[in-house]
Structures are given as structure tokens and as C-alpha cells.
Amino acid sequence: MSLDPTVFTARFTGTLGELLGIRFVEVSPERVIAELAYREALTTVGGSLHGGTLMALADTVGAAATALNLPAGAGTTTLESKTNFLAAARSGTVRAEATPLHRGKRTMVWQTRVTDEAGRLLSLTIQTQMVLV
């Protein structure tokens, strides 16, 4: 079951996701992909995308993926998140792809790979989401 990415992106109106400019491009319970365009407001003094930008992108995509897998009436919150930064992005569009490592009744664990337009791995985030019932 895939959802319309445009409709899914609209759900984030008024949130940090909208402020960052996150745009969902693929949305299903098995995989969520979103993109974010480089702009100076999201960078470090040195001109590369800020680590907090990459983490916020990964957290948003992982939480969205969890939400797609929740039972009716349940919510989610991030319990733990760990990011390895591997390369800097200084232009273009970055892409975050979240895939499940574990989808349980009480927790879900997602791996989110953030890459640049050339496919170079910029960061890797593993996050645990709590299922709130």
C-alpha cells in the first residue's frame, strides 16, 4: 500500500518538516523516502548542511515510517537516535530513505540513509520509536 507523497507532505504543514522543506517522494509501510533541498539557512558557518538538519530529516522520515505501521489509535515518539556523519553536502538535494530493522508491538527501529544527488552516503541514522497506545 503506497500513499500519495504530495498528500503525505501536506500533513507536515506547520511543523519543523515544513520549515526545513522536507518533501516526501515515496511513502509506504515498507519504505519512506523524502528529499530536502540545500539552502544556506540549513548550513554550518562552513557551508555544509548542518548535522542537526540531517538528523531532523532522518528523525522526521523514521517517525513517518513508524506512523504508517501503527495500529489504529496509537501514536509514536522517538526513544533513541544515533547518527554517523560520513560526508558533507554543500549543494543540491539530499535524499533520506528509511527502512525497518524491527517493527514490534512496543517499539520500532528504523535505519535512515541520507545521500546526496550522486548517491554518496552523507549520514546513517538508527532510531528507536516507541509505540504509544
Q: What is the pLDDT of residues 90-117, one digit of tens each?
A: 999 999 999 999 999 999 999 999 999 9
Give pLDDT, residue 50.
97
- pTM, two decimals, is 0.95
pLDDT attached to residue 2: 77
pLDDT in the model for residue 3: 87
- Could you tell me which residues come within 8 angstroms of residue 9 by beta carbon, excluding any fewer than 6 positions away? 22, 23, 24
Give tens-digit pLDDT for 14-27. Answer: 999 999 999 999 99
pLDDT at position 101, please?
Answer: 98
- How far apart CA 94 and CA 14 sit, in angstroms, is 21
Residue 121 and residue 133: Cα distance in Å, rounded? Answer: 35
Compute how many other C-beta atoms are within 10 angstroms of the C-beta atom of residue 89.
24
What CATH number does the domain containing 19 carry? 3.10.129.10
Percent of the chain with pLDDT over 70: 100
pLDDT tens digits, 37-51: 999 999 999 999 999
Task: Please tell me the distance from the alpha carbon of residue 70 to that of residue 88, in angstroms, as a whole number.
Answer: 34
What single letter denotes the amino acid at residue 58? Answer: A
Grid coordinates belonging to 115: 545521500
Domain that holds residue 78: 5-132
Surface-to-core class of residue 73, CB atoms within 10 Å of its CB (0-12 exposed, 13-18 middle, 19+ buried):
exposed
For range 114-130, the mean pLDDT: 98
**Model confidence at 59, in pLDDT bands (50, 70, 90)?**
very high
- Provide the domain count of the chain: 1
